[in-house]
Structure 1
Amino acid sequence: MSEFFTSDELLALREHGIAVFADRLLIDVQPPMSDARIAEIEALCEGPLPPALLDLWRLTAGGELAYDLRAQMDGNEEALSWSELFYDGSDQYRDLQGWIEHEQECAEEAAAEDGATWNGKLRYLPIGGFEYCDRIYVAMEPGPRAGSVVAWKQGLPGWTHALQQDGIATIAPDLHAAFAALCLETDPEEDEDSTGLRVLEYLDERVSDHGMPQSLADRVAVFYRQALVDWRGPLEDGTLAAKPGLAALALQHALSQDDAALV
């Protein structure tokens, strides 16, 4: 349950395809996943579905995210696109079942290359990402890493300033922590290229075309912007240089706004 919204507000938001999970906003959400479908997916995996994933799927079977996320890959900090929570019937590059079948094929091929027979169980369950470029997995193999969230990013050999080979990184020990890592690097109310612009456009559409109260949309926008990364505070207190990630965002802002004084 969100501490920001009342239970009545959450019900009203759901009517407009909006839900809150781990203090992050989901839009264009699907109904909850059925217990039967959850059981089907669990039967395909090496171990039981972790509690956090069950919490998510019992809230919604999938939808959209509009946040920024970064991870260390091949010695560099890479931006990751986690714009979709895969669900059955999605009209994106592949739906959830399609991605599961893709992983099954890859696992079987990998086992064959090693001269082994695959046991038919997924060690990593794909739950989201962006088209074929970036994917988010939950580790399913029993053990200390069970339930951890892993990102895969496609490399682009020959591209300047791009990951040259496929990269893999653990981004959080569980799904709640992975959602906590989602942020807004720029303010969608100030930056027309901000990842968050998608949410503001979605809210505008719900207000203009579907009767969402403007006051509720405004509250959603306030809640959403709580994920905005603050580099100005460290700049003012003199600690920005010790925080490379925030310093990079400050420099990006200075360049985009032609703010020579900030540089």
Structure 2
Amino acid sequence: MIDATTFQEHRRMLFGIAYRMLGSVADAEDLVQDTWLRCSQVSAPIDNPVGYLTRTITNLALNRLASAAATRERYVGPWLPEPLVTRPDATEEVELAESVSLAMLVVLDTLSPLERAVFVLKEVFGFSFKEIAGMLEHSEASVRQVGHRARSHVRSRRPRYDTPPEVRRRVTDEFLAACLGGDLNRMMELLAPDVTAWSDGGGKVKAAVRPQRGAKNVARFLAAVLSQPMADPRLHAVDVNGRPGLLLTVAGRPDSVACAEVADGRITEIHIIRNPDKLRHLAAGRRDTSAPDVTRS
């Protein structure tokens, strides 16, 4: 069996696996609890607790992905993950920010469930193909092939940004000041010419149903959003999945979470989550103060 102390030692790793697999804070937390319930009921000795825990939560996540496929097909507008909102921290590891960024999770969502599982376990948490094959009950050769395919897919769709955290924060803060000041020209100066903004309302609140592209379109879109009448709007500087971002509260409740990608001193991508279902964990006071581990415990 696995005792509570051992489980707690690896809890953050388990959350990290489930969150990267599902893109949902609430679902990841549910799966962590389900993993504990299943493992705590095993009476026989377990030689490799880490492997057993990882296998359990990975297979639970694969089952959850399969059941969610039909719902995702009916989703209104762009789909973005539930955000991990943390305190701004310029010392946060680059590996963490890259592996859990919203942009990375969007790319992972284009993989098949098996590809996603293999990529997360191998590239993020460092399990070997042999270990993963045993967890997923596939041959090592087939898992290796899936892993190489997933890695190639991610690399082709997700360019790595090497911008230092302090530069990302400075550019993001300057852009926020320009937005609040209604300085459209300064906003466009800080946006890359080919910038793209995605907004996720899930059909429940106002949001663009298609990505906004180009500095002028993105600047005008954001200016129009911020000009809407709101009750006691407040903007909070936060980190969103390891990237500089902001949390907008209206009448004391989370309304929107946004973060930006920065390259060469300009914003290249903006992700905005407005779907209230995806902000529920923030409204419930469960704002994360530390992002999940990216290495094995």
The structure with the greater share of residues assigned to helix is: 2
TM-score normalized by the length of structure 1 = 0.26
TM-score normalized by the length of structure 2 = 0.24
Identify which of structures 1 and 2 has the higher relative contact order when contacts are C-alpha pairs closer than 8 Å and 6+ apart. Answer: 2
